[in-house]
Amino acid sequence: MANLMQLWLPILVAAIGVFVASSLVHMVFKWHNSDYRPLANEDEVRAAIRTGSPAPGQYVLPHCKDHRDVKGEAMQAKFREGPVGHLTIVGNGMPSMGAMLGKWFVFNLGVAAIAACLALQVLGLAADRHAAGHLVGMVSFLTYFGGSVQNGIWMGKPWSAVAKDLLDSLIYGTVSALTFMFLWP
List CB contacts of 45: < 8 A, sequence separation 6 or more. Answer: 39
The dihedral built from the CA positions of residue 80, 81, 87 and 89, taken in this order, carries a sign that is negative
Q: Which amino acid is at 52?
A: G
State pLDDT tens for residues 119-160.
999 999 999 999 999 999 999 999 999 999 999 999 999 999
The pTM for the full model equals 0.92
Distance CA 15, CA 101 (A): 12
CB 176 within 8 A of CB 112: yes
State pLDDT tens for residues 60-92.
999 998 988 899 999 999 999 999 999 999 999
CB 82 within 8 A of CB 61: no
